[in-house]
Structure 1
């Protein structure tokens, strides 16, 4: 089938909102009925390809004919704020520039490095659970600001060498950059504010060096001329934003999903240490919070019975791929005993999330310790009152009130 033949009369709007925070939008199933690769329409009227099939997504994610270059003027954006706050570092680059930056950073995000951070992460998680318990069982505690957000925020600050005292500032700027409801002006201003913050922090660190990754990059890359000051500030901003926003949403949504599936919660409570690693992988598949991966075709590509033409936009929603029944039997069932090998929650190929090992450790320890220490945890409000973040954002909830 040609791309012309595959165009439907009235393509659905994209991105799509979730009705339930932990399930994909209902529209994904409707898209899938038209084939694993079909058309949708963005806010500006542009039509793009949406890939809902697992095998097709996996194939395309390693196809060099799909470009990640967000500096291209024709690169497709889901919502207006994306055009103003483009995170060009790493995820928004093609080789060879992408490969150069990734090699600079990858040694700090290996499995070995993530495991070496376990004692520090266990300390941070323990302190946050202490703070939750200090409220007492009769109070409704919001786990987003008390648990889910501060854990990855503290971890990435310690890794980078960023003062955690500044967390309210950078968390607010991050929110303005990534939430779909921000205007282009708000997102652009937030991006400038964060780059300016890191430019100033680089100056302070040059005068008084520390031990974080940012200090290492200043010493080994900036002062040797391998990185410009602007590029270093942009990379640092990317690591800070990506290092806490996605994991924070994943932690909150994981807790919510478990509380809404009491039989799975009971399995984790019965064996927190043994079940937490597997539960983490299944929840990554089941929730797929970093849902929309975007690309643009640099050449014609035939896939899934259609031809994607050069210059056409492509979206690969991981929540659709990770709910493909042929790859994951009973995909809409949460089963923490499942071994969901090959899920695409962190993407695939050269752009696979550089921080995935760190995120896994944070999620595993956070879930293990929370349900070990507070086994009777339960929602303090009905699920319907929580809502879900809009499509075009990292998926999650704004609030997670609990009691025990």
Structure 2
């Protein structure tokens, strides 16, 4: 008897709960970790939902991460970018050995030691945001007033972006991750960021300071390549961490028993962050990979050129890897989760993200122990039209 391969048209997006991936992803994973995915443009590709297979694909050099293989798995206003070549410096969309060159340079900039040295500054920014929130008084929008400013200010300081220009960067990065953005508006946002970072690179070469871009000007990267690196770090460094901060807080507030466990023993905060990143995986529409040759996976024949989408939220809820995976358990030893990706393209800024999450959560719940959502759950809008999952806003209140 011939086994029928499960097939879905478009990536399942409908959620019955904001804290859980779409139910259909779980049903597909239960049938098989690899299923057919028909993209909105008609391309017949593949969807990976199992944890072990996700790790295997992300670590397999027979699959390419280049921009040419990117196909949006849902209908959106913006025209697909899969035929666009990867621009110089856009290292996140390159394959080794080109990618390796950039990764080695960035590894020296994002070391655990250097991120540890940044912790006092992260704490200063975090407490400044809390000071402003407390002065204004409740209610507040935790995303706007707390979660966004912390990573935004940190990545801008790392890159050496002047304070007066940071709001403009926030606006452009928001445009780029909004799936409703038109082609014209997306192009304008990219053009603005490239133009600004390009001019900043020229300035850094002439007037270097103690920031990441100045450090990279000492490498063999051209101005064009440095511009691509700067834009990539800027966009990646804001959206994912900001939404993880806000979504993690929201999940904790809606799980008071788990929050109480954490507040009673903050020594478990680092472990709790790993569980939150696993349970609330914000990168919900990728990563993409393209088969560079014919590949056999799970008894299926992946043809050269076919696109494979790895669902990180589904993989992080795989019961074959995590016991009772839909339950948030901050005492769980959450090793091997894919919240920061896997393989050579694992997030280079993960140490910075972890520091921002740890410091922001600790300060928030220490200073506002009565923090709570200010509206019912059904009134909190989720980012179902964005490339990064999270809340569109998070109204909160507190006593005193």
* TM-score between the two structures when normalised by the length of structure 1: 0.92
1:186 aligns with 2:185: yes
Q: Identify the match of residue 354 of structure 1 among 331, 340, 348.
A: 348
Shift in CA distance, 144/86, structure 1 to aligned 2, threshold 3 Å: farther
**Residues 39 and 48 of structure 1 are in contact (CA less than 8 Å); yes or no, is this contact kept in structure 2?**
yes
**Residues 12 and 25 of structure 2 are in contact (CA less than 8 Å); yes or no, is this contact kept in structure 1?**
no
Aligned to 1:38: 35
Following superposition, the deviation at residue 124 of structure 1 comes to 1.1
d(CA) in 1 for partners of 2:209, 2:114: 19
d(CA) in 2 for partners of 1:184, 1:296: 23
Aligned to 2:124: 123
Aligned to 2:211: 212
**Residues 14 and 40 of structure 1 are in contact (CA less than 8 Å); yes or no, is this contact kept in structure 2?**
yes
Aligned to 1:290: 283
**Residues 20 and 387 of structure 1 are in contact (CA less than 8 Å); yes or no, is this contact kept in structure 2?**
no
**Residues 86 and 94 of structure 2 are in contact (CA less than 8 Å); yes or no, is this contact kept in structure 1?**
no
d(CA) in 2 for partners of 1:216, 1:286: 36
d(CA) in 2 for partners of 1:396, 1:164: 26
Higher relative contact order (CA 8 A, sep 6+): 1
**Residues 58 and 348 of structure 1 are in contact (CA less than 8 Å); yes or no, is this contact kept in structure 2?**
yes
Shift in CA distance, 32/128, structure 1 to aligned 2, threshold 3 Å: same
Following superposition, the deviation at residue 288 of structure 1 comes to 0.8
Aligned to 1:365: 359
Gap runs ≥5 in structure 1:
none
- Of 202-211 and 292-301, deviating more is 202-211
Aligned to 1:306: 300
1:101 aligns with 2:102: yes
Following superposition, the deviation at residue 167 of structure 1 comes to 1.6
Aligned to 1:375: 369
- Matches of residues 2-401 of structure 1 in structure 2 within 5 Å? 6-8=4-6, 11-14=8-11, 16-70=13-67, 72=68, 74-78=69-73, 79=76, 80=78, 83=81, 89-136=90-137, 139-218=138-217, 220-221=218-219, 226-272=220-266, 274-291=267-284, 292-390=286-384, 393-401=387-395
Gap runs ≥5 in structure 2:
none
**Secondary structure in structure 1 of the residue aligned to 2:81:** helix
1:266-300 Cα distance to aligned partner (Å, 9 max, x none): 1122233x122111100000011112211100112
**Residues 125 and 369 of structure 1 are in contact (CA less than 8 Å); yes or no, is this contact kept in structure 2?**
yes
**Residues 51 and 315 of structure 1 are in contact (CA less than 8 Å); yes or no, is this contact kept in structure 2?**
yes
d(CA) in 2 for partners of 1:38, 1:142: 39
Shift in CA distance, 359/375, structure 1 to aligned 2, threshold 3 Å: same
**Residues 12 and 24 of structure 2 are in contact (CA less than 8 Å); yes or no, is this contact kept in structure 1?**
no
d(CA) in 2 for partners of 1:43, 1:387: 25
**Residues 299 and 311 of structure 1 are in contact (CA less than 8 Å); yes or no, is this contact kept in structure 2?**
yes
d(CA) in 2 for partners of 1:36, 1:184: 34
**Residues 71 and 80 of structure 2 are in contact (CA less than 8 Å); yes or no, is this contact kept in structure 1?**
no
1:232-266 Cα distance to aligned partner (Å, 9 max, x none): 11110001111111000000000000000011111
**Residues 50 and 317 of structure 1 are in contact (CA less than 8 Å); yes or no, is this contact kept in structure 2?**
yes
**Residues 247 and 280 of structure 2 are in contact (CA less than 8 Å); yes or no, is this contact kept in structure 1?**
yes
**Residues 125 and 365 of structure 1 are in contact (CA less than 8 Å); yes or no, is this contact kept in structure 2?**
yes
* TM-score between the two structures when normalised by the length of structure 2: 0.93
- Of 102-111 and 386-395, deviating more is 386-395
Aligned length: 391
**Residues 18 and 391 of structure 1 are in contact (CA less than 8 Å); yes or no, is this contact kept in structure 2?**
no
Following superposition, the deviation at residue 82 of structure 1 comes to 5.5
d(CA) in 2 for partners of 1:391, 1:28: 18
Aligned-residue Cα RMSD (Å) equals 2.0
**Secondary structure in structure 2 of the residue aligned to 1:376:** coil
